[in-house]
Structure 1
Amino acid sequence: MDRSDPRRIGGRITLHGRLGSGGMGRVYYGVTDQYEQVAVKVIRAELIDRDEVRERFARETEALRTVQGAHIASLVDASDADGEQPWLAMEFVRGLTLKEFVSERGPLSIEHAAALGVLLADALHDIHAAGLLHRDLKPANIILGRDGPTVIDLGLVAFAEGPTDLTTSAAALGTPTCMAPEQALTPKQITAAADVHALGATLLYALTGHYPYKADTIVALMAKIVSADAPPDMSGLPDAFVAPVAAMLAHDPGARPTVANARARLKALCDPLPAATRALTLATYVERESDPEDVPPRPRRRVDLSQVAPPGSVVARLADRLRAAYAVTAPF
């Protein structure tokens, strides 16, 4: 960190270093006074006065408060979004992102990808059950952690009912490589089917190392995405995945399976699921060299009751009985 970075935030979190930065803010590694390891996101100073940035930040915070799921990074603490320096602290998840893993170590096996798809479908189910849409599921937003895959970014989350824009703009929001056609064409009128499309694009990348569409410019890429005459590139996709991924990437959102149906098809490729999930975690969890060291647990305090209880007192007599009963000779 440099001199401009805070050392404490929220009165109970000590910051130890930067994890990264993006267009909206910086992310720090922190440890709470209760020894919880957290990733703390802080809005960049030059963007604090922009209403749309504060609104997006407030939505992410509210979504994290609302959504509970085994494969979604949980909120630990957060400031008031209208405060002088808005921030939020999420659980810190160790490991590589799916994008990093595939880029460095190659595509996943059929069984590992199927298990990944099932667990990501579970995460989407939890998000949709809370009345929200994710809108930006992608390999870079999935960490392959010690306990399996975890979705870490809800920055573009939207309410499933009503307008889904973060601002008054009709501009598309999301990552083009995983974006559904309707998200590019009518961003204010998308449904859960857009997240299903993103799941299909993510699995395609996990199994092949490439996305549904490729182009030299963003404009050309968006033109392919919105065209019903431009089929997605599924080269290299194992035969077992061609049908389910093609269904998830259907141009017509009404032709895509529901999250539950997609999950069922993926689960059939990795039964029994518990064993496949363990195999996925063992195969994909990699210690990141840049990750900070684990914080040691809070040491237990050993109390010698003879120092705090006068001889003959009730507490002292109770301690004597406990020592005699359990043959305890050391202080406790």
Structure 2
Amino acid sequence: MKPLTPSDPRVLGGIEILGRLGKGGMGVVYAGRTDDDSLVAVKTLHVGSLDQSDLRERFDREATALGMVQGPGVASLVESGQDDETPWLALEYVPGLDLATYLKRHDPLDAVTGMALGLVLADALTDIHTAGLLHRDLKPANVMLGPDGPKVVDFGLVAIGGAGGDLTHTNLRLGTPRFMAPEQFTAPTSVGTPADVYALGALLAYATSGQYSYEGATPDALGYAVANPDIEPNLSGVPAGLLLLVTALMAVKPQDRPNLADVRAQLTEQLAAAHMSPAAARGRLAERTYVPGTGITDEVPPTRRHAPVTRVETVPPTVGSGTGRRAGIAVRTAERLRKAYARPGAA
């Protein structure tokens, strides 16, 4: 965590801002502390980006998605101040490294740990799809390795609704090329849940082998290789116990990929053969991948050093807390998005 600059806010929506966690094209991500002493990650939308409709859309889409999906493998939404002068989202803080950083510092995952990761992520994707969403950008950098197991983060590219999503710009390619399914390159408006299944396979291949399945000097070259049935992915380093599954997950045709229920069943069976239940596998995975000393919990004492700040509620009191509060945020955001897309000339 880096110290705040003079221009950074000290409070957002009643959440005490403690320091900077990172900065991206959309805005700054801060470490925050709620008035009940919970640590959160606070994502902000830069004021200069407010007139850029694509960034605002991504920000609103993420708030909507996080308000809709629930599950132990997904970082949850805590609060939202989308209508504030500086729009912000407060998310469950997950200490630890993201999977991409972890793999840069450690050896690839062994077969059993990779199976456990696959099962946790398959469960997370099932929760996401059950909520009527597509993640569209599952990759190592969007998987946080916390003390209780991995959690999927970053719903900025999520699709809401049917195939392609009701918020998808025509022919707009969305995602991270190395983990994108062939149809995300060739037919982006018809992308469905099999694209997330493909990304799961590409992620598992990288996590267990330490190498990318396809190479390309440019996104177009990479896309050509991914979509070409005559060019097979490089899965030479994937453990034998995962090779058949990963190969199936990365099939070129969406209809040839297994569904998540089958993926979960196969991984559960393989873990059982290794005398491990799903719960035990998740615990083993967390034990092997969580790196202590890499979170703000190591820098921030558990007791507040300042008097509690007064929270400014961003959801009407009638909505309540917990699930009801997240639902209220989702409803309001979805309504804003529907109105935006109803404007003449909207994509």
User: 2 CA distance for matches of 1:206 and 1:87?
Assistant: 32
Decide whether the 8 Å contact of 2:44 with 2:89 is kept in 1: yes
Alignment match, 1:323: none
User: 2 CA distance for matches of 1:289 and 1:132?
Assistant: 31
User: 1 CA distance for matches of 2:279 and 2:24?
Assistant: 36
Indicate the structure (1 or 2) with the bigger Cα radius of gyration.
Answer: 1
Cα root mean square deviation, aligned:
1.7
User: Percent identity at matched positions?
Assistant: 47
Q: How does 1:203-214 map to 2 (within 5 A)?
A: 203-214=204-215
Alignment match, 2:52: 50
Alignment match, 2:318: none
| 1:3 maps onto 2:3 in alignment | no
User: 1 CA distance for matches of 2:300 and 2:16?
Assistant: 15
Alignment match, 1:31: 33
Q: Which amino acid aligns with 1:77?
A: E
Alignment match, 1:135: 136
Q: Which secondary structure state, in structure 2, belongs to the residue aligned with residue 59 of structure 1?
A: helix
Please give the TM-score of this superposition, normalised by the length of structure 2.
Answer: 0.82
Deviation at 1:298, TM superposition (A): 6.7
Decide whether the 8 Å contact of 2:170 with 2:189 is kept in 1: no
Alignment match, 2:72: 70
User: 1 CA distance for matches of 2:217 and 2:245?
Assistant: 28
Q: Which amino acid aligns with 1:222?
A: G
Alignment match, 2:287: 282
Deviation at 1:281, TM superposition (A): 1.1
Q: How does 1:234-273 map to 2 (within 5 A)?
A: 234-271=235-272, 272-273=277-278
User: 1 CA distance for matches of 2:48 and 2:73?
Assistant: 33
Alignment match, 2:114: 113
Q: Which amino acid aligns with 1:79?
A: G
Decide whether the 8 Å contact of 1:107 with 1:207 is kept in 2: yes
Q: How does 1:1-332 map to 2 (within 5 A)?
A: 1-10=4-13, 12-80=14-82, 82-161=83-162, 163-164=164-165, 166=167, 168-271=169-272, 272-289=277-294, 291-292=296-297, 293-297=299-303
Which has the higher mean CA deviation after the structures are superposed, 207-216 or 89-98? Answer: 207-216
Deviation at 1:231, TM superposition (A): 1.1
CA deviation vs aligned residue, 1:47-80 (integer Å, no higher than 9, x gap):
1111221111111001111101011001010013
CA deviation vs aligned residue, 1:127-171 (integer Å, no higher than 9, x gap):
000011110111110011010001111111112415426453422
User: 1 CA distance for matches of 2:293 and 2:159?
Assistant: 31
Runs (4+) of structure 1 moved beyond 4 Å?
A: none
Deviation at 1:254, TM superposition (A): 0.2
**Closer, same or farther: CA 24–169 of 1 in aligned 2, 3 Å:** farther
**Closer, same or farther: CA 278–168 of 1 in aligned 2, 3 Å:** closer
Q: Which secondary structure state, in structure 2, belongs to the residue aligned with residue 240 of structure 1?
A: helix
For structure 2, the residue ranges without an aligned partner over 5 or more in a row are 306-347
Which has the higher mean CA deviation after the structures are superposed, 276-285 or 125-134? Answer: 276-285
Alignment match, 1:327: none
CA deviation vs aligned residue, 1:71-122 (integer Å, no higher than 9, x gap):
1001010013x44321100011001111111110111111111011101001
CA deviation vs aligned residue, 1:18-52 (integer Å, no higher than 9, x gap):
11112222100000111110000001222111122
What is the number of equivalent residue pairs in this alignment?
Answer: 297
Q: Which amino acid aligns with 2:243?
A: V
User: 2 CA distance for matches of 1:139 and 1:197?
Assistant: 14
Alignment match, 2:336: none
Q: Which has the higher contact order (CA 8 A, sep 6+)?
A: 2
Decide whether the 8 Å contact of 1:160 with 1:191 is kept in 2: no
Which has the higher mean CA deviation after the structures are superposed, 288-297 or 171-180? Answer: 288-297
Q: Which secondary structure state, in structure 2, belongs to the residue aligned with residue 123 of structure 1?
A: helix
User: 2 CA distance for matches of 1:289 and 1:163?
Assistant: 36
User: 2 CA distance for matches of 1:181 and 1:162?
Assistant: 15
Q: Which amino acid aligns with 1:47?
A: S
For structure 1, the residue ranges without an aligned partner over 5 or more in a row are 300-332
Deviation at 1:218, TM superposition (A): 2.4
Decide whether the 8 Å contact of 2:95 with 2:295 is kept in 1: no
CA deviation vs aligned residue, 1:217-258 (integer Å, no higher than 9, x gap):
223212212222211110111111111000000000000000
Decide whether the 8 Å contact of 1:164 with 1:187 is kept in 2: no
User: 1 CA distance for matches of 2:7 and 2:53?
Assistant: 23
Q: Which secondary structure state, in structure 1, belongs to the residue aligned with residue 271 of structure 2?
A: coil
Q: Which secondary structure state, in structure 1, belongs to the residue aligned with residue 296 of structure 2?
A: coil
User: 2 CA distance for matches of 1:88 and 1:199?
Assistant: 26
Q: Which secondary structure state, in structure 2, belongs to the residue aligned with residue 143 of structure 1?
A: strand
